[in-house]
C-alpha cells in the first residue's frame, strides 16, 4: 500500500448511498429529500423539516397536527435528567450535559433495547422533543434560574426560546431561530453523522449513536465552531457604542495577526464547499434581521470586517457557524449554549441517518496502513 492509497480524513471517499440530503459543492446547493434548504427555510417550519427528514415527504396538514402534538407531549425536562445535570460540576461544558442527558434518556426509554424502525422513529421524536429542555435548563442553571415549564401553545422554536429565557419571544426572533434550526438539521456524511452511522453499523442503539455524534460535534473543527466564532468577536472586542465602520476597521489587524500565526480562524472554510457554504446567505439574512431588531450595527461591522479580511488574505469563505454564532449571541444565549442548539437541530439529521443505516446495514470497518515497529520478540 502506498501513501497515495491512504485517504487521510476520508477526504473525497464515498462510503455509501444516502437519500436524505445532497450536498453539491459545484452548484453550491444543499437539498433535503430533494428540496433546496433555502426553500424549506423560507416556507416551512422546523417541525415540517424534521418530519420530512424522517419520513421522506413533507407532512400533510393532518399529519403535521399529529406530529406536533406528539412532540409537545415530550417537552418536559425528565426529573431524572434534571437530577443528573444537577449532580454535574457547575463548570461542565453544555455539550457534555447534552451527551449525558442523551445517555440517560436512552437508558430510561421504554424501548431502550428495541431498535426496530418503529422504535427508532419514536426514540428520535422523543429525543428531539426533549433536547430544548436540556439546553434551556443548562443555561438557566448557570445563571441561577429555575426551570421554565414548556408551553404547548408554542411551536418548537418559540417554546425553546420560552424555556430558555422565560419570556414569550417576538415573532422575528422565533423565525430567525427556526431558520437556523432548519439550516443546521442535516448535512450528509459530516463527522458527527458519520460517527452516528458507524455506531449504528455495529447494531448498537439509537441513543448510543447520538451520544457518539454529540461527542464528534463538540470539536471546534465541527459544531464547536459557532462558539469559537463568538470567542473571536470577544477577542477583537464587542463595543456596543461603536458604529459598523469603526468595528469593521478593527478586524483587519486581528485577522492579519491570526493568519501570521497560522491560526485556523473558526467559522471559515469547509471540507466540502470550496466556493462558499450554500447555507450562509439564508442565515446571514436572518442575522441581518436580528442586528436590526436588537439595534447592534457593531456586530455587523465585525462580521463584515472579518469576512472581508479573510477574503483578501486567503479567499476562504465563511461557513454556517460564522452566521449562527452572532445570531444566538444577539438572542441572549450563552456562547456555551451555541453547539447544544446545533445538537437539538441535528438530532433530526443524525437519527434519519441512523434509520437509513439500520435499514441497509453493513458494518463500517476501514483498513489502516501499519507504520509501527517491525515484528520483534520479547
Catalytic residues, by residue number, are 222, 270, 321
Joined together, the cell numbers standing for residue 231 give: 470567542
Residue 10 within binding range of ligand COA, rule CB under 6 A: no
Joined together, the cell numbers standing for residue 177 give: 431561530
> Which one of residues 71, 138, 227, 321 is an interface residue with ligand COA (CB under 6 A)?
321
> Which one of residues 319, 327, 348, 357 is an interface residue with ligand COA (CB under 6 A)?
319
Pairing state between β 35-36 and 21-24: unpaired
Joined together, the cell numbers standing for residue 61 give: 396538514
Tell me which stretch binds ligand COA (CB under 6 A): 22-30, 285-293, 313-321, 356-364. 313-321
CB-side exposure of 115: number of CA atoms within 13 Å? Answer: 20
Residue 268 within binding range of ligand COA, rule CB under 6 A: yes
Residue closer to ligand COA by CB (options 267, 340) is 267
The distance of Cα 134 from the centroid of its chain, to the nearest Å, equals: 15
Question: Least separation, in Å, of the C-beta of 306 and ligand COA?
Answer: 11
Which of 229, 193, 228, 188 is CA-nearest to residue 209?
A: 193
Residue 4 is given by DSSP the state G
Specify the residue for cell string 476562504: 316
Q: How far apart are CA 311 and CA 305, in angstroms?
A: 10
Q: Which residue is nearest to ligand COA (CB)?
A: 269
Question: Least separation, in Å, of the C-beta of 252 and ligand COA?
Answer: 15
Helix axes 320-331, 280-294, angle to 10 degrees: 20
Determine the size of the site formed for ligand COA (CB under 6 A). 14
Residue closer to ligand COA by CB (options 56, 281) is 281
Specify the residue for cell string 448535512: 187
Q: Is 98 in contact with 134 (CB distance < 8 Å)?
A: yes
Tell me which stretch binds ligand COA (CB under 6 A): 77-85, 248-256, 269-277, 337-345. 269-277
Question: Least separation, in Å, of the C-beta of 361 and ligand COA?
Answer: 28
> Which one of residues 271, 289, 293, 308 is an interface residue with ligand COA (CB under 6 A)?
271
Residue 324 within binding range of ligand COA, rule CB under 6 A: no
Helix (H) or strand (E) holding 62: helix 61-72
Q: How far apart are CA 89 and CA 200, in angstroms?
A: 31
Q: How far apart are CA 299 and CA 290, in angstroms?
A: 10
Site for ligand COA in 208-267 (CB under 6 A): 221, 225, 264-267
> Which one of residues 94, 269, 301, 325 is an interface residue with ligand COA (CB under 6 A)?
269
Joined together, the cell numbers standing for residue 20 give: 436524505
Residue closer to ligand COA by CB (options 77, 182) is 182
Which of 119, 164, 118 is CA-nearest to residue 138?
A: 164
Residue closer to ligand COA by CB (options 122, 218) is 218
Residue closer to ligand COA by CB (options 213, 265) is 265
Joined together, the cell numbers standing for residue 330 give: 444577539
> Which one of residues 316, 332, 334, 364 is an interface residue with ligand COA (CB under 6 A)?
316
Question: Least separation, in Å, of the C-beta of 8 and ligand COA?
Answer: 9
Residue closer to ligand COA by CB (options 124, 217) is 217
Joined together, the cell numbers standing for residue 331 give: 438572542
| CB neighbours of residue 374 within 10 Å | 5
Question: Least separation, in Å, of the C-beta of 274 and ligand COA?
Answer: 8
Residue closer to ligand COA by CB (options 93, 264) is 264
Q: Which residues bind ligand COA (CB under 6 A)?
A: 221, 225, 264-271, 314, 316, 319, 321
Amino acid at each position: 500500500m502506498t501513501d497515495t492509497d491512504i485517504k487521510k480524513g476520508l477526504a473525497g471517499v464515498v462510503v455509501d448511498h444516502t437519500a436524505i440530503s445532497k450536498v453539491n459543492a459545484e452548484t453550491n446547493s444543499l437539498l433535503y429529500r430533494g428540496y433546496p434548504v433555502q426553500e424549506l427555510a423560507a416556507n416551512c417550519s422546523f417541525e415540517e423539516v424534521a418530519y420530512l427528514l424522517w419520513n421522506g415527504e413533507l407532512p400533510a396538514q393532518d399529519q403535521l397536527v399529529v406530529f406536533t402534538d406528539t412532540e409537545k407531549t415530550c417537552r418536559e425536562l425528565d426529573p431524572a435528567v434534571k437530577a443528573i445535570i444537577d449532580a454535574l460540576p457547575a463548570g461542565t461544558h453544555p455539550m457534555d450535559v447534552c451527551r449525558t442527558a442523551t445517555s440517560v434518556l436512552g437508558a430510561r426509554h421504554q424501548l431502550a433495547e428495541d431498535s426496530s424502525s418503529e422504535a427508532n422513529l419514536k426514540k428520535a421524536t422523543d429525543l428531539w422533543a426533549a433536547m430544548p429542555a436540556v439546553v434551556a435548563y443548562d443555561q438557566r442553571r448557570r445563571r441561577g434560574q429555575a426551570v421554565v415549564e414548556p408551553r404547548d401553545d408554542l411551536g418548537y422554536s418559540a417554546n425553546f426560546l420560552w424555556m430558555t429565557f422565560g419570556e414569550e419571544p417576538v415573532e422575528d426572533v422565533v423565525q430567525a431561530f427556526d431558520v437556523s434550526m432548519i439550516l443546521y438539521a442535516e448535512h450528509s456524511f459530516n463527522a458527527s453523522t458519520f460517527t452516528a452511522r458507524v455506531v449504528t453499523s455495529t447494531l448498537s442503539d439509537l441513543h448510543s449513536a447520538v451520544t457518539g455524534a454529540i461527542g464528534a460535534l463538540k470539536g471546534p473543527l465541527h459544531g464547536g465552531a459557532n462558539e469559537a466564532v463568538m470567542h473571536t468577536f470577544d477577542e477583537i472586542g464587542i463595543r456596543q457604542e461603536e458604529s459598523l465602520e469603526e468595528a469593521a476597521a478593527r478586524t483587519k489587524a486581528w485577522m492579519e495577526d491570526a493568519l501570521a500565526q497560522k491560526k485556523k480562524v473558526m467559522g471559515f472554510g469547509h471540507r466540502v464547499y470550496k466556493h462558499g457554504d450554500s447555507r450562509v446567505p439564508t442565515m446571514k439574512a436572518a442575522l441581518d434581521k436580528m442586528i436590526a431588531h436588537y439595534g447592534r450595527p457593531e456586530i455587523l461591522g465585525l462580521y463584515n470586517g472579518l469576512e472581508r479580511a479573510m477574503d483578501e488574505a486567503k479567499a476562504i469563505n465563511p461557513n454556517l457557524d460564522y452566521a449562527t454564532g452572532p445570531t444566538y449571541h444577539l438572542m441572549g444565549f450563552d456562547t456555551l449554549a451555541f453547539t447544544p442548539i446545533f445538537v437539538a437541530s441535528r438530532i433530526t439529521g443524525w437519527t434519519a441517518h441512523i434509520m437509513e443505516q439500520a435499514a441497509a446495514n453493513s458494518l463500517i470497518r476501514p483498513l489502516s496502513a501499519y507504520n509501527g515497529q517491525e515484528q520483534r520478540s520479547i
